[in-house]
Amino acid sequence: MSDDRPQPTADFGYRQVPKEEKAHHVAGVFHSVADKYDVMNDLMSLGIHRLWKRYAIELSGVRRGQRVLDLAGGTGDLTARFARMVGPEGEVVLADINGSMLQRGRARLLDEGIVGNVQFVQADAERLPFPADHFDCISIAFGLRNVTDKQAALASMERSLKPGGRVLVLEFSKPTVPGLKPLYDLYSFMVLPMLGRLVAGDAASYRYLAESIRMHPDQETLRGMMREAGFERCDYHNLSGGIVALHRGFKF
């Protein structure tokens, strides 16, 4: 007897796909863009993504000897900075669900001579394979919007964080400056796909990027989701007029 009940779906950009297939679709995007990921980040943001990440680092509170998880860490730019901050006594785990991105991150950090205190783990943010109360700080930069079940991922992060630790979610968000949204939309849906086609040979993946940003929760909604996951003293800081927001929460 067939089951005619509607099957659960998830957003993949503006499309709805079967929930169990979203991770596969997202993996295809990042397999496609991995080789040009860093170049495209610089082009798309005019280099400003480096300032956003530097601000996240400044609010991380990471100290020597601590253990840090750089989740959805991709090509490892945050991992490299955390590794220097924790020193040889500490540890940084670069985790990403996408093998192509993880391979790029490993190669980049090896080229920079950052090897002794960094571990590489292919992991799903919704089901982190780490003990409870394990990390002093967890960061996820421009990765949460690609997760199928964001609430499950936040709960998994809360479980893996030590009491007294903090989580940082750096992600595209909703513009707050009057008049910025139409200009941002024009850039996102006209310029980004064109850059993707010219530089990475892939306009579709960068069209998905623009769409996934619009489907991501706004600043207040995400703060509420973090509270629901068990984080306390949750706040956020709008960057570049709200195009990006850094959310922070603590575990006590």
- Write out the DSSP string of 93-140: EEEES-HHHHHHHHHHHHHTT--TTEEEEE--GGG--S-TT-EEEEEE
Task: Calculate the dihedral angle through the C-alpha atoms of 10, 16, 19, 22, rounding to the nearest 10 degrees.
Answer: -90
Q: Among 85, 250, 75, which Cα is nearest to 168's?
A: 250
Token pair of 223 as six digits: 């703060």
Token pair of 152 as six digits: 């499950």
The arithmetic mean of pLDDT across residues 228-235, rounded, is: 98
Which residue type does 232 have? E
What average pLDDT does the structure give for the chain?
94
The pLDDT value given to residue 35: 82
* Cα 238 to Cα 219: distance, rounded to the nearest angstrom: 8
pLDDT in tens, 129-179: 999 999 999 999 999 999 999 999 999 999 999 999 999 999 999 999 999
Q: pLDDT tier at 4 (50, 70, 90 boundaries)?
A: low
* Cα 34 to Cα 145: distance, rounded to the nearest angstrom: 17
Residue burial 57-75, b: 16+ Cβ < 10 Å; e: rest = bebbbbeeebbbbbbbbbb
Q: pLDDT tier at 5 (50, 70, 90 boundaries)?
A: low
What's the half-sphere exposure (Cβ side, CA atoms, 13 Å) at 25? 22
* Cα 198 to Cα 63: distance, rounded to the nearest angstrom: 41
The pLDDT value given to residue 238: 98
Token pair of 246 as six digits: 């850094």
Percentage of the chain exceeding pLDDT 90: 83
Q: What does the radius of gyration of the chain's CA atoms come to, in whole angstroms?
A: 18
The secondary element (H helix, E strand) that includes residue 21 is none
* CATH level 3 topology of 9-177+205-250: Rossmann fold (3.40.50)
Largest CA distance in the chain: 60
Percentage of the chain exceeding pLDDT 70: 98
The arithmetic mean of pLDDT across residues 11-17, rounded, is: 93
Comparing 36 with 89, the larger pLDDT belongs to 89
Q: pLDDT tier at 180 (50, 70, 90 boundaries)?
A: very high
Q: Which residue has the tokens 């967890």?
A: 138
* Cα 209 to Cα 137: distance, rounded to the nearest angstrom: 27
The model's pTM is: 0.93
The pLDDT value given to residue 156: 98
pLDDT in tens, 109-127: 999 999 899 999 999 999 9
Q: Among 127, 123, 121, which Cα is nearest to 157's?
A: 127
Strand, helix or coil for residue 149? coil
